[in-house]
Amino acid sequence: MAHSSPRESLRHRLTQLGIPREVHETAGLARMLPVRLNGSALDRLDADALAEALIYLIQNEIIRCPARLEGLPDLDWGAHVCHFYRGRDDLMTFLAACFRRGLAGNEYCVGIAPDAEAAQALRAAVVLAMPDFDHRDRAFECRTHEAWYLDRSGQLRAADALIADLVHLTEEALRAGYNGLRCAVWVAAVDRGNWPRITDYESAANARLPGMRITAVCAYPLLECDGRELADVRNTHEDAIVESAGWWHRVTASEARDAGAVLKALQGAKR
Amino acid sequence: MKDWQSVLARPREGQHIAQVYMDDGALIDVLAHFVRTGLAQGEGVVVFATPAHWGECVCRFAAEGVSLHEAEGCGQLAVLDARTVLSSFMVDGMPDWKAFQDVVGTVINLTRRKYRRIRAFGELANLLWQRGEHAAALRLEELWNHLVKLHDLALCCAYRIDDLDESSYTDGLKDIISCRHTHLVPSHDCPKLERSVGHATESLLGPRVAAMVRSLAAAHAPATEMPEAELMLLWMREHMPVTAAKVLSRARGVAALAHAAHARRSSRIVHRRASAARPPAR
């Protein structure tokens, strides 16, 4: 018979790992796992089993302790993370929160959106999330993929040139008195034709950014990526951030096989 | 799903298979299958079994109208009493490599002279295991590994272990796998075991978390090839012990229900046959 709360020894371990006691019942634990579960089936699940799964993931540093968006630790300088989003809601929520923190921390913020309309929507989301945005308007700009990634002939620019632009932008931001650069890229669709060049760029960024006063977030559509693309994105970023049932999960696994297992489970929602 | 019967039917040179069984009937099935397929493929077959088990196996062949005399006469089949062989190479409670090679290696060598491919079946390690001499059994497995390499033979070691018993996962199966077995073949009907363990895991964790756990277990799979159910249980026993115990308890329940249903069906068939044989009442 399923327990509504796990046994005390497991609750103790959960607490030690930062999972508050108020979410120790079956439904709460299910929400803390980086997998979307069907609400009506939650009561039938076993609290001990869910607790053990969660403990394994956190204890082995496959995920960090899940948090509400406002409790998600901010990115360190040099961080290059990916955000797997399911829909526009969680994407906008995340990017707006990300830029709000950057603007509050006197960082120069650049959003790179798929097109002009998306750029406008992203700007509107940031304005909405930041009541005093007008005072920081000059610290935020939105560019389009076309303007950032493509050359005059419409081809994807080389990884070196893109990285050089990021470095240049960071230096300009520092010269202008900002603490650093925060850059977030919104990928609307997986560009399979250019995929090898995109992963080259992501790998180059992953190697170049540490040590710089820059934080970079690349948002990819979770349900659009196939297994290989999911692994490529995960492997070319430090961590992967994803939302599930109002909780934010940071998949930190250093071993690709562990991260792959968690991300595959996260993708389960599309089936 | 992997066909475990074919692993036993066509083991490759250098393979060291651990066959787990629950009762003598299952062991005789495996032994007969292993010997039958080996002889049919023209391989040399060496068996180290207890007289009781081999006797039952011979009866099984006789019932099928198969005589083993010819195979034994021409040296294709060599059968040795496992207890006698075991006592001949044990020194101070541990298997001795030189004595093991003198006895077991010699039989293998003799068969090798006539047959290019050799398969061997052994109950030797199991005899030690059942006596609680686990260290000696594991040492013997190491010696077998040397011999498998030396003679390029295919080996199947049978262990009497209940793979739905929680204690089997704390030391038994884990230790056996650590002996570099290439395969672990389960005791129960494999598809049924997979279904009952899969169902139990999903009922506790839900299908999506269960899938994640399955992926994590697969990602950390040992070199020994084994059914997904065993892999999951071994992984869970180590990382999610409370869950593993619950999964096994539920899987045992499912197995018991299936067994009871099978018994009821059999009893109904017997009853129907008896009724049909009875003369109609006047």
pLDDT in tens, B75-109: 999 999 999 999 999 999 999 999 999 999 999 99
pLDDT at position A265 over 70:
yes
Alpha carbon distance B50, B43 (integer Å): 22
Mean pLDDT of A60-67: 91
Distance, CA of B33 to CA of B25 (rounded, Å): 12
Q: Looking at residue B58, which CATH number applies to its domain? A: 3.40.50.300
Nearest Cα neighbor of A264 from A55, A54, A35, A26 is: A35
Cα B217 from Cα B236, distance rounded (Å): 8
- pLDDT value of residue B280: 63
**Same domain, yes or no: B60 and B33:** yes
Which range marks the domain in which residue B55 is found? 1-187
Which chain B residues are Cβ-neighbours of A32 within 8 angstroms? Answer: none
- Three-class DSSP category at A118: helix
Residue B114 to residue A106: CA distance in whole angstroms: 84
Instruction: Pinpoint the residues of chain A covered by CATH 3.40.50.300.
Output: 69-270
B212/A49 Cβ within 8 A: no
B133: phi > 0 → left, psi -120 to 50 → alpha, else beta; which? Answer: beta
pLDDT averaged over chain A? 90
Do both B211 and B178 map to the same domain? no
Q: Please check whether residue B154 is in contact with residue B119, taking contact to mean a CB–CB distance below 8 angstroms.
A: yes
B205 and B231 belong to one structural domain? yes
Greatest Cα pair distance, chain B, in angstroms, is: 78
B16-21 and A247-251 beta bridge pairing:
unpaired
Best CA proximity match to B108, nearest among B157, B179, B43, B55: B43
* Segment (H or E) for B169: none
Pair (B22, B38) in one structural domain: yes
User: Do B108 and B33 fall within a single domain?
Assistant: yes
**What's the total number of domains in chain B?**
2
Burial class of B165 by CB neighbour count within 10 A (0 to 12, 13 to 18, 19+): middle
In chain B (282 residues long), the average pLDDT of successive 10-residue segments reads 83 94 92 96 97 96 92 96 97 97 96 95 96 94 96 95 82 79 82 87 92 92 90 94 94 77 69 67 56
Tell me, yes or no, whether B115 and B239 share the same domain: no
Cross-chain residue pair B205–A50, CB shorter than 8 Å:
yes
Digit-coded pLDDT (tens) for A47-57? 999 999 999 99
End position of a domain, from candidates B167, B187, B207: B187
**Nearest-CA distance A31 → chain B (Å):** 11
The answer on B224 and B146 residing in a single domain is: no
As a whole-number percent, the residues of chain A with pLDDT over 70 amount to 97
Beta-carbon-side half-sphere exposure of residue B196 (alpha carbons within 13 Å): 22
**Domain termination residue (choose one: B153, B187, B221):** B187
pLDDT value at A271 more than 50: no
Q: Which of A237, A223, A231, A232 is nearest to A268 (CA)?
A: A223
Q: Do A264 and B211 touch (CB under 8 A)?
A: yes
- In total, the C-beta contacts within 8 angstroms joining chain A to chain B are 80
* Cα distances (Å, whole numbers) of residue B87 to B41, B73, B96, B240: 32, 26, 11, 40
Q: Running DSSP on this structure, what letter comes out for residue A153? A: T
Same domain, B27 and B163: yes
Best CA proximity match to B234, nearest among B176, B190, B157, B156: B176
Q: Are residues B281 and B166 in the same domain?
A: no
Question: pTM for the full model?
Answer: 0.83
In terms of C-beta distances under 8 Å and separation of at least 24 residues, what long-range contacts does B256-265 make, across chains too? B258/B192, B258/B196
A102 close to A76: Cβ distance less than 8 angstroms: no
Whether residue B211 sits in one domain with residue B129 = no
**Cβ neighbours around B196 below 10 Å, total:** 24
Chosen from A29, A31, A48, A52 to mutate, greatest number of chain B CBs within 10 A: A52
Nearest to B204 among A45, A258, A261 (CB): A45
Which helix (H) or strand (E) segment holds residue B40: the answer is helix B24-40
By Cβ distance, the residue of A36, A38, A261 closest to B219 is: A261
The pLDDT tens digits for B51-73 are 999 999 999 999 999 999 999 99
B103 and B118 belong to one structural domain: yes
Report the Cα A244 to chain-centroid distance in Å: 12
Interchain CB distance below 8 Å, A30 and B206: yes
Question: CA distances (Å), A141 to each of A122, A137, B258, in order?
Answer: 10, 8, 66
**Which residues does chain B have within 8 Å of residue A7's beta carbon, measured at their own beta carbons?**
242
Q: Which strand (E) or helix (H) includes residue A140? A: strand A140-144
Q: Which residues of A80-102 are buried (b: 16+ CB within 10 A; e: fewer)?
A: bbbbbbbeeebbbbbbbbbbbbb
Residues of chain B numbered 244-263 and touching chain A (CB < 8 Å): 246
Q: Which residues contact B96 (CB under 8 A, 6 or more apart)?
A: B89, B90
pLDDT of residue A171: 96
CATH class for the domain made up of A69-270: alpha beta
When pLDDT is cut at 50, 70 and 90, the band that residue A74 belongs to is confident
